């Protein structure tokens, strides 16, 4: 049994918290509690993104380190006459990872347990068994016998539905299994970056941010970045781990435990060359491991950050993670710790002159 240190306790609380896009309050409160001791000021934007400010040199450049608070989940759209719930996916899901999975409906009266159901195989034709069930044909069973009973328990259209999963330290204690690593690990990185800078002089003002609504179009990153007006932006998120059976190096090159991923290209952004080179030079100087990653699809909050105002040099630094956008994902603690170390060391070197040089490379 793993001994829970401060870091594991924080990671458990962050991943256990429930928060689909538009419903991030619970996660924001956990992040606020952990980041507040290291911040000079905590604010939010109008959508609910958390912004923690730590000033090193007051007139220095503004450096943004942004995770996102939200996780992929579902929303109740209808309760039928028999008490079954119809739902909408919120964020990207693949139907094959959803069936027979336990979920929690978060209502104003409290939590209600449910399971995603469908027809059993015994009554499906041989042809139907070969085809995946479409998400539109799935439902959530909460054990209610009628609409009235479900409503009596507090269930209402618009309620968020979150995957149920218990945070687990694997036999290899570096391997951590949890729901919502996408992107509570980014929130944890932002917290630990401010923590590591607590009594350190740095030539800039750092903002540790938990953005809302990333999974539905990088939305909170737009509003939070407008409010902050940073000179440099880092999105910290999960990436794809390409080290499981069936994934070729052509599809995903990265391996868990081999260092944070430096994303050179994804569907939301071409990474800023000057910033990318600066970060990898710092990593090389200090022997911090890292891996390059490029993805033809998907994106991170850097995709919104880099387009705000006159444009912000931005880079996504991600953690290779298995099984994202499902009930449970797995990552390696060393990658988390090396991402924090790398970002802290980069921030220490980002004075005004360096930022100006990076910007125009």
- Give the active site residues: 214
Cα–Cα distance measured from residue 355 to residue 361, given in angstroms and rounded to the nearest whole number: 10
Length of the chain: 361
269 in Cβ contact with 299 (< 8 Å):
yes
Residue 286 phi, psi (nearest 5): -100, 5
Three-class DSSP category at 87: strand
Joined tokens for residue 62: 């503004």
Residue 37 phi, psi (nearest 5): -60, -15
Cα–Cα distance measured from residue 168 to residue 217, given in angstroms and rounded to the nearest whole number: 30
Of the candidates 320, 339, 340, 338, the one whose C-alpha atom is nearest the C-alpha of residue 330 is 320
Which residue shows structure tokens 């710790």?
A: 337
Non-local (6+) Cβ contacts of 68 within 8 A are: 183, 186, 187, 210, 211, 212, 213, 214, 215, 220, 221, 237, 301
Three-class DSSP category at 223: helix
Element (H, E) at 221: helix 219-228
Q: What letters, b where the CB count within 10 A reaches 16 and e where it falls short, cover 44-81? A: bbeebbbbbbbebeeebbbbbbbbbbbbbbbbbeebee
Non-local (6+) Cβ contacts of 345 within 8 A are: 282, 286, 288
């Amino acid at each position: 049994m793993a001994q829970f240190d401060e870091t594991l306790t924080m990671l458990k609380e962050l991943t256990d918290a429930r928060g689909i896009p538009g419903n991030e309050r619970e996660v924001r409160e956990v992040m606020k509690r952990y980041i507040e001791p290291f911040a000079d000021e905590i604010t939010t934007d109008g959508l609910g993104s958390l912004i923690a400010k730590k000033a090193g040199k007051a007139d220095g450049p503004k450096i943004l380190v942004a995770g996102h608070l939200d996780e992929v989940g579902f929303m109740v759209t209808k309760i039928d006459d028999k008490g079954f719930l119809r739902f909408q996916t919120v964020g990207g899901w693949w139907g094959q990872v959803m069936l027979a999975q336990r979920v929690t409906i978060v209502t104003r009266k409290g939590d209600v347990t449910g399971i995603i159901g469908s027809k059993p195989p015994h009554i499906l034709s041989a042809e139907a068994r070969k085809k995946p069930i479409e998400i539109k044909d799935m439902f959530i069973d909460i054990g209610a016998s009628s609409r009235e009973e479900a409503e009596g328990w507090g269930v209402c259209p618009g309620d968020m539905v979150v995957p149920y999963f218990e945070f687990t330290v694997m036999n290899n204690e570096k391997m951590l299994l949890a729901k919502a690593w996408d992107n509570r690990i980014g929130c944890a990185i932002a917290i630990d970056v401010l923590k590591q800078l607590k009594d350190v002089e740095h030539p800039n003002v750092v903002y540790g941010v938990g953005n809302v609504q990333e999974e539905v179009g990088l939305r909170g990153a737009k509003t939070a970045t407008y409010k902050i007006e940073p000179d440099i932006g880092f999105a910290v998120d999960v990436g794809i781990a390409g080290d499981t059976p069936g994934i070729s190096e052509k599809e995903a090159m990265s391996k868990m435990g081999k260092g944070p991923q430096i994303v050179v290209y994804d569907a939301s952004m071409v990474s800023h060359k000057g910033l990318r080179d600066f970060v990898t030079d710092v990593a090389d100087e200090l022997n911090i491991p890292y891996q390059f990653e490029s993805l033809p699809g998907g994106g991170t909050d850097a995709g919104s950050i880099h387009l705000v105002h006159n444009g912000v040099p931005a880079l996504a630094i991600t953690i290779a993670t298995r099984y994202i956008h499902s009930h449970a994902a797995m990552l390696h603690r060393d990658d988390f710790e090396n991402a924090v170390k790398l970002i802290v060391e980069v921030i220490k070197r980002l004075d005004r002159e360096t930022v100006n040089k990076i910007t125009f490379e």
